[in-house]
Each structure stands twice: as structure tokens, then as C-alpha cells.
């Protein structure tokens, strides 16, 4: 997790391509405590990039798997009592074993139960926080106009919050939106990639959280966040071409993740990067 990060955009692109190659070769186990609405899509997205998903959220099993996994995803989308009971122990087991974990703070700032829960979990320092602007602002303690899983806030309005959160965790923070932002101690990366149909499919954000977790099993936090964001965005661009609507788009999205090559990914990371703030 602490290896040197590429400083140059081209290096980042190469690192992302290499990470996808590693993912397909090493097929790491990714243990997911995730949203019940979208578990199936998350699992299929993970399989499509080469990871081996485990969706064990039962207390006693969740933490058992976390220590042996390559990475762990904690998505707060449907934090029922059993899952809440598993989350603390799972994150602690991951941290204790040096396994990177990713926090997807769905609807944090809107609903009280999960907002408190997210605050507690942050103490275990997720490798990556992946959310929309409202969620990242709420998690960083800023005021938000969010109303659940929608991304009402503009990504740029969450840039400072992302930086603050990254300083707090020591990891990376990925803010999803029309232009995605990844922040860590070394600065910000902006990625112009994706398709508006991603917002018409339930679970596209959850799938991204899962992909980020998969990439943390084989790459440093910032590389993982950039690789996952670009992989999903590029697959979305390709899927949108043949789609008649959101359901055929979703089918295409998983198919295109499966067909994605390391060279494709590296090339798109190269073109997606925007050094400054977009106009």
C-alpha cells in the first residue's frame, strides 16, 4: 500500500494497465459487505475484471474471510442489523491482516444510522473512500444537499472535502461524477470518462466501489481508484454505443468490463486525465 506512486500521467496509465493484468492473473478474493439491492451486479462486475467475489456478510463468516482476502469492500447501502454487526469486526480483521479495504458511504449525510456507522468505520482508515460528492462532503463534515444515492453536489464542490478526507485516512478518495476526481496526499487527478447512462442503472456506483476494492488488492490506493474509475467509465462508453436503454446498457457494461484489456485501460487513463480543474 505504501509503494511509490507514479508522478507522471503516463506512468499512472501504465500502472493502471499493469494492475488489470495482475488482477486477471492473480484473481484475488474480494470480500464484500455490500448493498443487497445491487449485490448481483457487484459480483458480476468483479468476476468480469478477474477478481473472485465473496459476498459473505453473516457475522462470524464475514470477518473470517476478510483476513484471508486480497481486499474488502464495505458498502453502506443497506446496513441491516446483521450486516452492521459484521462491519466493525470485518474492517478490524482486514486492518489487522494488512488487507486494504474500501468504504462506499452510500447515502451518508442523509440517514442517521449509517452516518454514525461511517464515522466509526473511518477510524480504521480505508485505503479508498468511493462516493459521490454529497457523500464525500458529508463524510468530511461539510454540509450537503444530498437526498440519498443521487449525486446532487457537483464534484468540484467536493474537492476540498476529498483532500481533507484523504489526509484523515492516509489513503485515496474517489469522487464520482461527470468528471471523476481522485485525491490523495500527492494531489488530485481528474478523469473525464464515462457515460450519463451510468446514472440510469441502479448499482453502477456500487459496482465501482467493488472494482476499486479489487484493484486495491494489486495496486496502491491512487492507482486502484484511477484504474477502477477508468475501467468502468470506458466500459460504459462502449456499452452506451449499442444500448437501447439502461437495461441493455447494463448488460453491455459487464460484457465490456470482461472484454477490457490492459492496453485499452492504459490508453484510456492517458486520455481521460485532466491536470487542472475543468472549465
Interface residue with a second copy among 104, 184, 195, 256 (CB under 8 A) is 256
Please, what is the minimum distance in Å from the beta carbon of residue 127 to a second copy?
A: 22
Spatial distance between the Cα atoms of 104 and 114, rounded to a whole number of angstroms:
11
- Of 39 and 273, nearer to a second copy (C-beta) is 39
When asked if residue 145 is in the footprint of a second copy (CB under 8 A), the reply is no
- Of 83 and 223, nearer to a second copy (C-beta) is 83
Indicate the SS3 state at residue 8.
Answer: coil
When asked if residue 80 is in the footprint of a second copy (CB under 8 A), the reply is yes
How many residues are present in the chain? 279
Is 96 annotated in a binding site? The answer is: no
When asked if residue 120 is in the footprint of a second copy (CB under 8 A), the reply is no
Please, what is the minimum distance in Å from the beta carbon of residue 144 to a second copy?
A: 15
Please, what is the minimum distance in Å from the beta carbon of residue 36 to a second copy?
A: 6
- Of 37 and 92, nearer to a second copy (C-beta) is 37
Q: Is 187 left (phi over 0), alpha (psi -120 to 50) or beta?
A: left
Nearest CA to 249 out of 260, 238, 240, 262 is that of: 240
When asked if residue 81 is in the footprint of a second copy (CB under 8 A), the reply is yes
Please, what is the minimum distance in Å from the beta carbon of residue 5 to a second copy?
A: 30
Please, what is the minimum distance in Å from the beta carbon of residue 69 to a second copy?
A: 10
Spatial distance between the Cα atoms of 33 and 213, rounded to a whole number of angstroms:
11
- The CA distances from residue 176 to 59, 187, 221, 233, 256, in Å, are 30, 17, 16, 10, 20
When asked if residue 134 is in the footprint of a second copy (CB under 8 A), the reply is no
Is 176 annotated in a binding site? The answer is: yes
DSSP letter, residue 25: H
Spatial distance between the Cα atoms of 31 and 68, rounded to a whole number of angstroms:
9
When asked if residue 121 is in the footprint of a second copy (CB under 8 A), the reply is no
Buried residues in 110-120 as b, exposed as e (16+ CB within 10 A): beeebbebbee
Which residue ranges make up the site for a second copy (CB under 8 A)?
29, 36-41, 43-44, 47-48, 52-61, 64-65, 68, 77-82, 107, 111-114, 147-150, 200-203, 243-248, 250-259
Binding residues: 55, 130, 176, 203
Amino acid at each position: 500500500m505504501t509503494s511509490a506512486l507514479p508522478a507522471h500521467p503516463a506512468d499512472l496509465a501504465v500502472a493502471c494497465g499493469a494492475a488489470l493484468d495482475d488482477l486477471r492473473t492473480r484473481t484475488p478474493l474480494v470480500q464484500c459487505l455490500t448493498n443487497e439491492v445491487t449485490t448481483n451486479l457487484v459480483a458480476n462486475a468483479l468476476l468480469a475484471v478477474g477478481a473472485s467475489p465473496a459476498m459473505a456478510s453473516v457475522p462470524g463468516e464475514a470477518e473470517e474471510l476478510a483476513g484471508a482476502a486480497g481486499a474488502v469492500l464495505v458498502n453502506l447501502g443497506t446496513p441491516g442489523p446483521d450486516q452492521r454487526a459484521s462491519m466493525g469486526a470485518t474492517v478490524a480483521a482486514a486492518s489487522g491482516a494488512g488487507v486494504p479495504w474500501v468504504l462506499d458511504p452510500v447515502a451518508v449525510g442523509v440517514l442517521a444510522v449509517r452516518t454514525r456507522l461511517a464515522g466509526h468505520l473511518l477510524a480504521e482508515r480505508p485505503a479508498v473512500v468511493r462516493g459521490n460528492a454529497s457523500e464525500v462532503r458529508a463524510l468530511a463534515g461539510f454540509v450537503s444537499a444530498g437526498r440519498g444515492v443521487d449525486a446532487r453536489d457537483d464534484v468540484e464542490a467536493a474537492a476540498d472535502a476529498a483532500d481533507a478526507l484523504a489526509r484523515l485516512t492516509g489513503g485515496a478518495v474517489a469522487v464520482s461524477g461527470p468528471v471523476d476526481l481522485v485525491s490523495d496526499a500527492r494531489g488530485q487527478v481528474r478523469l473525464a470518462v464515462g457515460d450519463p447512462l451510468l446514472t440510469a442503472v441502479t448499482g453502477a456506483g456500487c459496482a465501482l466501489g467493488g472494482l476499486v476494492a479489487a484493484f486495491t488488492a494489486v495496486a496502491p490506493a491512487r492507482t486502484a481508484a484511477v484504474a477502477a474509475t477508468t475501467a468502468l467509465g470506458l466500459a460504459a462508453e462502449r456499452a452506451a454505443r449499442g444500448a437501447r436503454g439502461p437495461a441493455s446498457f447494463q448488460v453491455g457494461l459487464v460484457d465490456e468490463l470482461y472484454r477490457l484489456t490492459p492496453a485499452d485501460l492504459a490508453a484510456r487513463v492517458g486520455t481521460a486525465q485532466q491536470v487542472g480543474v475543468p472549465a
